[in-house]
Amino acid sequence: MPIVAAIPAGASRDRVRLSGSARRRGMTLVEILLVLALVVLIGSMVAPVFNGVFSTIRLRRGGDQVIAQWSAARMRAIETGEVQQFRFTPETGKLVVEPWTGVLGADADSRRSTGAASTSSASTAAGGTTSTTTAASSTAATGTAKTTNVTLPEEVVFHAGELAVEDYETGERSVASLQEPGEDQSTPILFFPDGTTSDASVLLTNGKQQFVRLTLRGLTGVGRASLVLTQEELQRADRRK
């Protein structure tokens, strides 16, 4: 007679339950892989959008920094009685505010900023040392001479600039570029002890066809920033000038 081993009644059910659990674990793993693939796909689509948003924010912040330096230069000129100058390096995010060492007068160049008429000469104390920096901002002072170097946020650069100038002999006013051919730095924007400055405008860009125009009023020394403009909006604004 064949010997039949006794099999517990619940054993088959346990095997079925175990097999079902294994299948469920397998399906869960597939689902996880599918979710991860979707996350990667969505991330690759959303990342450029966030990058554009951050670029816009950096551009606005750069404009705020320039206006803040204009205000600081104006206040420094009023407090020290010395003419201050603002200059930038074209196509970079570097700017400097420091005492102006030039001389205003009839023997100077024919092109002058409109605010220069109120001052005949200006000079700074000798021996002032200029600070060098790779950080966002730094200031060095020696005696009364004080230099501030600032670097704008990443990717934000000075694209162009204009300055209202006046001919001393004829009194005619015109608009000149702040960027002279062959010069490493721009033509200076001057800030005078009486609170006046030069009528000027500066254009910032982030390299993504976005621009911010900063304007400086000569009589009040107040700077204003435009909204973030596209290339087309900037061209339309230039045509309306």
Q: Which residues contact 237 (CB under 8 A, 6 or more apart)?
A: 213, 226, 229
Contact (CB, 8 A) for 187 and 176: yes
- Cα–Cα distance for residue pair 99/147, rounded to 1 Å: 7
Give residue 136's pLDDT.
43
C-alpha span between 42 and 48 (Å, rounded): 11
139 domain-assigned: yes
Residue 175 pLDDT level (bands cut at 50, 70, 90): confident
Is residue 127's pLDDT more than 50? no
Range of the domain at 181: 59-240
Q: Which of 80, 67, 68 minimizes the C-alpha distance to 195?
A: 80
Range 11-37 average pLDDT: 62
pLDDT on residue 40:
75
What mean pLDDT do residues 43-50 have?
Answer: 60
pLDDT score recorded for residue 58: 94
Write down the pLDDT at residue 111.
36
Between these two residues, 55 and 50, which has the higher pLDDT value? Answer: 55
Comparing 115 with 214, the larger pLDDT belongs to 214
DSSP lists the bridge partners of residue 177 as: 162
Let me know if residue 72 belongs to a domain: yes
Q: How far apart are CA 91 and CA 186, in angstroms?
A: 11
Confidence of residue 222 (pLDDT cuts 50, 70, 90): very high
pLDDT at 148: 93
Does residue 189 sit within a domain? yes
In a domain, 187, yes or no: yes
Q: Is 153 helix (H, G, I), strand (E, B) or coil?
A: coil
pLDDT for 56 equals: 92
Burial 129-165 (b: 16+ CB within 10 A, else e): eeeeeeeeeeebeeeebbbbbbbbbeebbbbbbbbbb
Q: Model-level pTM?
A: 0.66
Element (H, E) at 216: strand 210-216
Residue 151 included in any domain:
yes
Gyration radius (Cα) of the chain, Å: 32
User: In the predicted model, what is the mean pLDDT of residues 150-159?
Assistant: 94
3-state secondary structure of 160: strand
Question: Is 86 a domain residue?
Answer: yes
What gap in Å lies between CA 196 and CA 183, rounded to an integer? 26
3: confidence class by pLDDT, cuts 50, 70, 90:
low
Cβ atoms of residues 199 and 222 within 8 Å: no
| Average pLDDT of the chain to the nearest whole number | 75
Give the pLDDT confidence score for residue 124 in this predicted structure.
Answer: 35
Question: The domain spanning residue 166 has which CATH number?
Answer: 3.55.40.10
Answer whether residue 25 is part of any domain.
no
Give pLDDT tens digits for 231-241: 888 888 888 76
**Overall number of domains in the chain:** 1
Looking at the domain assignment, is residue 54 inside a domain? no
Average pLDDT over residues 12-34: 60
Q: Count other C-beta atoms under 10 Å from residue 172's C-beta.
A: 10
